[in-house]
């Protein structure tokens, strides 16, 4: 990256790389897997133009669910949330791209699916906050934290997409 460049020369064809590439943790929750919506949900991020760097089907242990949602531990719905997230396999994903964190949150829609805009994943596919089919990190910092939490070293794959020049000027 230019940040780590020793030369300090800013070449025009590299300027796009100055925009911060972020990573976000996206998860198809157990209801999404059970309802057969995994492909549809993965597809939304794939078609948008973000890059998949990690993917697995995974039965989440209670301790991991509690760590992931630790900021919500004082909420009355916390025990139900942990039961929900551990109730069946989830699909864990890491996605990469410029602006991916905020954009993924927009694609996902509001926490309450009844308030989520049509066209969003929750707006199109869900009806209840307690079964809202998908998770997305709420900040770049949490994106990094959550990917480190859900994936082991070696499960994240760095690759160059052939679509690059067709997605960004």
Residue list for the binding site for ATP: 29, 77, 105, 111, 122, 132
Q: Does 67 bind ligand ADP (CB under 6 A)?
A: no
Gyration radius (Cα) of the chain, Å: 17
Q: Does 139 bind ligand ADP (CB under 6 A)?
A: no
DSSP letters, 34-101, are HTT-HHHHHHHHHHHT-EEEEEEEE---HHHHHHHTGGGTTSTTHHHHHHHHTSS-EEEEEEEEETHH
Choose among 153, 128, 104, 136: nearest CA to 25.
136
Residue number with the smallest Cβ distance to ligand ADP: 111
Q: Which part of the chain contacts ligand ADP (CB under 6 A), choosing from 7-15, 16-24, 38-46, 127-135?
A: 127-135
Residues with a known catalytic role: 135
Q: Does 43 bind ligand ADP (CB under 6 A)?
A: no
Contact yes or no for 149/143 (Cβ under 8 A): no
Among 138, 144, 156, 161, binds ligand ADP (CB under 6 A): 138
CB of 166: closest distance to ligand ADP in angstroms?
31
Q: Does 132 bind ligand ADP (CB under 6 A)?
A: yes
Q: 135 — alpha (psi -120 to 50), left (phi > 0) or beta?
A: beta
Among 44, 51, 68, 135, binds ligand ADP (CB under 6 A): 135
Number of H helices, E strands in the chain: 8, 4
The binding site consists of 29, 77, 105, 111, 122, 132
Q: Does 129 bind ligand ADP (CB under 6 A)?
A: yes
With a CB cutoff of 8 Å and minimum separation 6, the contacts of 86 are 30, 59, 60, 61, 62, 65
Q: Does 81 bind ligand ADP (CB under 6 A)?
A: yes
Site residues for ligand ADP per CB under 6 A: 72, 77, 81, 111, 129-130, 132, 135, 138
């Amino acid at each position: 990256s230019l940040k780590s460049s020793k030369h300090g020369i800013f070449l025009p064809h590299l300027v796009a790389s100055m925009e911060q590439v972020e990573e976000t943790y996206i998860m198809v929750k157990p209801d999404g897997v059970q309802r057969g919506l995994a492909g549809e949900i993965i597809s939304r991020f794939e078609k948008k133009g973000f890059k998949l760097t990690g993917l697995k089907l995974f039965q989440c242990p209670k301790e991991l669910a509690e760590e992931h949602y630790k900021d919500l531990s004082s909420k009355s719905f916390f025990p139900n949330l942990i039961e929900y997230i551990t109730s069946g396999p989830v699909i864990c994903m890491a996605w990469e791209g410029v602006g991916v964190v905020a954009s993924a949150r927009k694609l996902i829609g509001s926490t309450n699916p009844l308030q989520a805009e049509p066209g969003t994943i929750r707006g199109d596919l869900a009806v209840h906050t307690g079964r809202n089919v998908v998770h997305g990190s709420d900040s770049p910092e949490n994106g990094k934290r959550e990917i480190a939490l859900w994936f082991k070293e070696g499960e994240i794959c760095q690759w160059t997409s052939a679509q690059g020049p067709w997605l960004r000027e």
